[in-house]
């Protein structure tokens, strides 16, 4: 079992802005709050370094000096890549020191290696000017984070995905997509009780969001699937009698519970193909529940809808 995120995705109160906040160290977990969220107000420079890196030790004090001289117009966040490799990997940092600048949630500039103070000052001055012009918005990093979390879930790294969703939620406590992502991680881990509790505690502002509606459907299906029997026994029953639709239905639910979504869909489609009226149109109705659980734009939902339509009108 993995560690749970803070209740309601709450984030700790931020300290008052001041000189102490202009330069700070951060971690992979706090990156979203310290960099992405903070950069919505002012440009944030990220210095990727490591204790063993000689050029990093030369560049670090220079950047700190220049940033402090802006008196809060630009901030500096330092991240030790040895202790916190995830963000560096996500940004494809191949050598250090590596410096990135973020503004309004996305990277806007950067450079590699130790450079002279004059070049650092020019770099920072450009960011100050960008801030004065109000810059440009964007959610590129946020989208990358969601894509990475999805890949983690698909690859079985539920703890990694949970941490990343929690990091997003720490920066944006009412981000329905991240909140739903955490619940999906709990469902995938079989922790249905905590998933149910988290949905019940969803902030009012996002409680009716479609992301949470989809994940509620996923939880309903998961609870229904938890009562299905062992897959081998059900497969044997279906092999013995292909028209045992009740056994095939239970097999579909057991496959869903095991994370075999496409196989589960195939079994329900087979029931519909053999007897579309079985159990008061039960196979089609269960497919609709699957669509809600997957999300209407999920590739499997789109593909299955086409197959179902072809059967209905054939």
Contact 268, 283 (CB under 8 A): yes
Task: Show Cβ contacts of residue 151 under 8 Å, excluding neighbours closer than 6 positions.
Answer: none
Q: With CA atoms as reference, report the closest residue to 173 among 15, 5, 39, 10.
A: 10
Whether residue 97 has a cis bond before it, omega within 30° of 0: yes
Question: What contacts 24+ positions apart, CB below 8 Å, involve 141-146?
Answer: 141/36, 141/102, 141/105, 141/106, 141/107, 142/36, 142/105, 142/168, 144/90, 145/32, 145/90, 146/177, 146/178, 146/181
Q: How far is CA 97 from the centre of its chain?
A: 28
Contact 140, 107 (CB under 8 A): yes
Q: Torsion-angle region of residue 180: left (phi > 0), alpha (psi -120 to 50) or beta?
A: alpha
Q: With CA atoms as reference, report the closest residue to 21 among 52, 42, 47, 48.
A: 42
Which tokens belong to 196?
Answer: 């149910």
Rounded CA-CA distance 225/237 in Å is: 18
Which tokens belong to 240?
Answer: 């013995």
Orientation angle between helical segments 261-274 and 299-312, nearest 10 degrees: 10
Sign of the CA dihedral with 87 first, then 93, 96, and 101 last: negative
DSSP summary character for residue 74: S
Please report which helix (H) or strand (E) contains residue 107, including its range.
Answer: strand 106-112
Rounded CA-CA distance 111/47 in Å is: 10
Name the residues annotated as catalytic.
53, 56
């Amino acid at each position: 079992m993995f560690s749970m995120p803070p209740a309601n995705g709450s984030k700790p109160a931020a300290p008052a802005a001041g000189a102490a906040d202009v330069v700070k160290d951060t971690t992979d977990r706090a990156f979203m709050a310290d960099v992405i969220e903070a950069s919505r107000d002012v440009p944030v420079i990220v210095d990727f370094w490591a204790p063993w890196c000689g050029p990093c030790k030369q560049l670090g004090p220079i950047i700190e000096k220049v940033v402090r001289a802006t008196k809060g117009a630009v901030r500096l966040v330092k991240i030790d890549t040895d202790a916190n490799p995830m963000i560096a990997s996500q940004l494809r940092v191949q050598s250090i020191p590596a410096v990135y600048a973020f503004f309004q949630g996305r990277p806007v500039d950067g450079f590699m290696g130790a450079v002279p103070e004059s070049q650092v000052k020019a770099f920072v001055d450009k960011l100050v000017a960008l801030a004065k012009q109000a810059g440009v918005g964007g959610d590129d990093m946020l989208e990358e984070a969601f894509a990475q979390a999805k890949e983690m879930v698909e690859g079985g790294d539920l703890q990694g995905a949970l941490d990343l969703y929690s990091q997003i939620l720490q920066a944006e406590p009412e981000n329905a997509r991240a909140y739903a992502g955490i619940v999906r991680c709990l469902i995938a881990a079989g922790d249905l009780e905590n998933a149910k509790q988290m949905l019940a505690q969803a902030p009012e502002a996002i409680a009716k969001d479609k992301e949470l509606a989809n994940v509620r459907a996923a939880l309903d299906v998961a609870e229904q699937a938890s009562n299905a029997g062992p897959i081998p026994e059900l497969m044997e029953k279906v092999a013995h009698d292909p028209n045992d639709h009740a056994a095939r239905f239970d097999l579909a639910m057991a496959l869903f519970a095991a994370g075999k979504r496409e196989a589960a869909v195939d079994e329900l489609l087979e029931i519909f193909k053999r007897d579309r009226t079985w159990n008061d149109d039960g196979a089609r109705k269960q497919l609709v529940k699957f669509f809600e659980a997957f999300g209407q734009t999920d590739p499997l939902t789109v593909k299955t809808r086409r197959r179902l339509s072809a059967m209905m009108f054939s």
